[in-house]
Structure 1
């Protein structure tokens, strides 16, 4: 059985990706930072459906924990066929309001942790493996409301491009999946039960609606599949036509 690691998999897009990859036959490592109960619930759902999964805690903003996560994958699986770098934090502000502490935390989790976790895991990824990085539509549009967050996603896009070139001879593909505004717990405070918020979100998308986590999971599953073997170094835009 092939193994996939999904970071930030206890809720939202990561949870949906973990469940989808399990349905596709992967043994899934469900990484989480804070909610052990939520991660174990994902594992339970996978196992009840006949799949295989295990939960592993690591705050990717702490390098020692990112390294420990890589070591756990080495011990548990030995080989990692698919890495989905989904973990991230989205809280951000306009430039006038951003604090050095919040800025540093954004880059620690969204960029530094992703970078060094991937580096530690590279020896475990076989020829023909897959790396999928979750970025955002804000990497291609102006989003001054969350400028530092947008910068982190731009950094990941550059990382993807360079790593795809490096790993291409081994037939390892490296791609981004860029969601638009998705109905997740992170957005719940301003989106769910708020007709004005939902109308605003829908207005940003050409499809005139809010995206669902399963729709993003489907794109990730494609990027992780054999069908995507000739796609690398690019972004699969899953924004519903955001800001066209």
Structure 2
């Protein structure tokens, strides 16, 4: 009987060893989940445009009037430590002057609120221009599946721990883009940029809020917060955080 038990145990051990390691879940880790954020124009998803050419439509200059709203939403993940990001410099529209400054400024807005728990470092240019779970955290301009979207951010993370695996942001290359350098960054929410284009730093600052772990807000009273889910041409006010944005980051970091 003892010999039979030992024989069965040996067979069981052989069967376990035969299972490929890739088929066995890593200890303490669950399945990676993907969350996608779509940033639409200010008035939501617009109707399909009529056929034929049409003149460009300007945005509306709407400076901040009330950013002391304390609303925020959490996505279920957070970054930690030094995060290296890469930019596909070859995809940046020529209309965006000093694009790396605009991008670096966007990261700095959030790093300044992270209490030293998160830092960002530019890892150089990349040729990657599509979102994929490859361990590279990229910012690129490219075609997005939803033609009217301003930008799309993809977050891969473990739901049980909130650990981020990968994150990418793709800005819609079909849309007009610009960069407005504001002399006093603290006044960015009181001025507007080119009303015929989306301002790169403004839009990316919103997208990076998702990287940090914040969700979109869609109530009209939240329109002056960085994490308000709609954007507009000429808008700069997302470059400065409102109360709700800072409270959300304060809960995460």
Alignment TM class, shorter chain as reference: under 0.3
Larger helix share, 1 or 2: 1
Larger strand share, 1 or 2: 2
Instruction: Please give the TM-score of this superposition, normalised by the length of structure 2.
Output: 0.27
Instruction: Please give the TM-score of this superposition, normalised by the length of structure 1.
Output: 0.28
Q: Which has the higher contact order (CA 8 A, sep 6+)?
A: 2
